[in-house]
Amino acid sequence: MHLPKPWRLLFALPLIFLAIFYFYPLLSILGVSLAPEGRLDLSGVQALWTRPYLAQVLWFTLWQAAASTALTLLLGLPAAYIYARYDFPAKTLLRGLTTIPFVLPTVVVGVAFVTLFGPRGVLNDWLMAALGLASPPIKLLNTVWIILLAHAFYNAAVVVRIVGGMWANLDPRLGEAAAVLGASRWRRTWEVTLPLLAPSIAAASLLIFLFCFTSFGVVLILGGARFATLEVEIYRQTVNYFNLPLGAVLALVQLAITFVVMVVYTRMQARSSLPLNLRPQSMTVRRPATRREWLVVAGVNTLLMLVLLTPLLALAVRSLTLGADAPTLRHYLALGQNPTQSVFFAPPVEAIRNSLLFSLAAVALSLALGLLAAYLLAGNSAHNRPSRLARWLDPVFLLPLGTSAVTLGLGYIIALDEPPLNLRTSLALIPLAYTLIAMPFVVRSLLPALRGLNPRLREGAAVLGASPGQVLREIDLPIIGRALAAAAIFAFTISLGEFGATLLLYQPRYPTMSVVIYRALGQPGVSNYGQALAMSTLLMLVCLVGLLLIERLRVGDAGEF
């Protein structure tokens, strides 16, 4: 777009926002961890060696992330295979269902797993009644197993999307060519398919590792006091012990490791771009032919749906039946009341209002900034080549993705509570954090649409007499409209369920839904638990509707042809 000069300054806004609300807090963390009193003092860093507990936390964080990744691959790869190679009834629906966990807030997943596997959970109740047992047979809560399971639940979709997407577009003729040359089925897998898929499997693994490495809500809710990832430990040091310097040191360690993994990930992505002749999916899928193939397809689907859907169903059913013989809405109705034993001063329904307002503010802000950023990155030359500046900035806008929410919250607490920017008591702090977290998703949603926009369309409109403003209104916005709507929903669902940063930044008078759920879960009594269930179910439904809308709005991406 040929904009008048002063308007081009607008494009600096996203960068200014990143500088103030991302880099400044991170630098403050660096400052506090290395020089808590204003001069260099490495005693905080030394604690990593001198306190074996911290080494344990680091070790646990690393190995649980690795184990979770392995478990996720075990669950996800067979699913990726059948979705990539076979066509079967209800495939679109089933594949859509696999993405559900991905959009669910961690508190919701935590509550769902407690509801299914907890000592008074659906499974145990059912087994005790069926077998006449006196005590719950399944003791998964507060073990590492439930953490791994929840992580696999969360990330299976990543494998199905990344590996399955690659697999689906692999030219089946490559395998056929190998077969003609005498390769057996096993050799074909080993010599052709796996090497071609290896980059995508590695990419998916690194991504999952990263997610599990910074896991917060799942570990906090399901692990109990026994388990802590770095992320959970940062939160405890900050909120429970007010030990900001140690929290900052841990955040620094986490940032460093995340950064290394991110670098490896991007390197691999760059190197893995083999000049493959990708085929449209219609050419690569077929109906299962033999009884065995049907069995494999049915078996993998059943297992997948069992793992992915039962916790969510248990949550929804329990929210209606907890403490009652017949389905009742009483836990939902209780959200509007303010019983004396409630953890908060206000009825929980106000948390819903708070969450909505915070999220809507974040949607507006992240859309405005994200749109500007996406234009900056897409480049508007006639040849639609990103400028050198854009190529350099592209990863910068992705950086917040690699930074954990708790670290961000800690950074805000350290950096934004003193002049010149004292926002500690401002209600704006939470929407600002949400905006920062949502912006990479907004930019990622908009960028392909903008880059895919044929520059000739803008030129065509300009030649026909459309001014730059008219081009924007008549061409850009209508064409990227769907992507814009998808980005808005993305930002909304992410904000609505945000947990880590919120837990550090919220003000007791203005709790959000995720905070209320977490707090209510920690309180005794059926009514608190019931409210947690009801609110989790509501949150889950909103996210499901959002997911449905996003899928509807999806403009055919490269993986889908």
Partner 1 sequence: MLAIHNVSKAFGPTPVLHDISLEIARGEIVCLLGPSGCGKTTLLRIVAGLEQADAGQLLLEGQDLAGVPVHRRGFGFMFQDFALFPHRNVFDNVAFGLRMAGQSKAALRGRVLEMLALVGLSGLEARQVHQLSGGQQQRVALARSLAPNPALLLLDEPLGSLDRTLREELIGELRGILRQRPAGKDEPAGITSIYVTHDQQEALAIADRVVIMNAGRIEQIGAPVALYRQPATPFVARFLGMENLLPGQIVEGAPGWLTATPLGLLRSAAGPVDAAAGDSVLAVARPDAARLVDLATRAEENLVAGQLQEVSFRGSQVKITLSYADGQRLVFDLPGAAAGDLPAPGQWIQIQLDPAGISLLARSVDAS
The Cα–Cα gap between 445 and 214 comes to 23
Assigned token pair, 197: 């898929």
Strand partners, 422: 417
Q: What angle do CA 9, 12, 15 make, to 5 degrees?
A: 175
The Cα–Cα gap between 177 and 195 comes to 15
Size of the residue set binding partner 1 (CB under 8 A): 19
Shortest Å, Cβ 392 to partner 1: 18
Shortest Å, Cβ 462 to partner 1: 4
Shortest Å, Cβ 336 to partner 1: 44
Assigned token pair, 88: 């079967």
| Of 557, 550, 560, 561, nearest in space to 102 by CA | 550
The Cα–Cα gap between 296 and 28 comes to 53
Binding pattern for the stretch 476-515 against partner 1, x by CB under 8 A and - elsewhere: --xx------------------------------------
Q: What angle do CA 382, 388, 390 make, to 5 degrees?
A: 80
Nearer to partner 1, 324 or 477 (CB): 477
Within residues 422-481, the interface with partner 1 by CB under 8 A covers 454, 456-457, 459-467, 470, 474-475, 478-479
Shortest Å, Cβ 499 to partner 1: 39
Shortest Å, Cβ 465 to partner 1: 4
Nearer to partner 1, 464 or 558 (CB): 464
Tell me which residue has tokens 């809308």.
Answer: 549
- For residue 390, state whether it binds partner 1 (rule: CB under 8 A): no
Question: Quick check: 484 and 447 in contact, CB under 8 A?
Answer: no
Question: Quick check: 491 and 362 in contact, CB under 8 A?
Answer: yes
- The alpha carbon dihedral of 173, 174, 175, 178 has a sign of positive
| Of 151, 472, 89, nearest in space to 287 by CA | 89
Shortest Å, Cβ 449 to partner 1: 12
- For residue 385, state whether it binds partner 1 (rule: CB under 8 A): no
Three-state secondary structure string covering 40-88 = CCCHHHHHHHHCHHHHHHHHHHHHHHHHHHHHHHHHHHHHHHHHHHECC
Phi and psi torsions of 32, nearest 5° = -65, -35
Among 382, 420, 425, 524, binds partner 1 (CB under 8 A): 382
Shortest Å, Cβ 545 to partner 1: 26
- For residue 3, state whether it binds partner 1 (rule: CB under 8 A): no
- For residue 389, state whether it binds partner 1 (rule: CB under 8 A): no
- For residue 401, state whether it binds partner 1 (rule: CB under 8 A): no
Give 420's Cβ-side CA count (13 Å radius): 2
Nearer to partner 1, 454 or 507 (CB): 454
Shortest Å, Cβ 513 to partner 1: 37
Shortest Å, Cβ 104 to partner 1: 33
Nearer to partner 1, 2 or 509 (CB): 2
Binding pattern for the stretch 342-381 against partner 1, x by CB under 8 A and - elsewhere: ----------------------------------------
Nearer to partner 1, 191 or 459 (CB): 459
SS3 450: helix
- For residue 388, state whether it binds partner 1 (rule: CB under 8 A): no
State the residues that interact with partner 1 by CB under 8 A. Answer: 2, 382, 454, 456-457, 459-467, 470, 474-475, 478-479
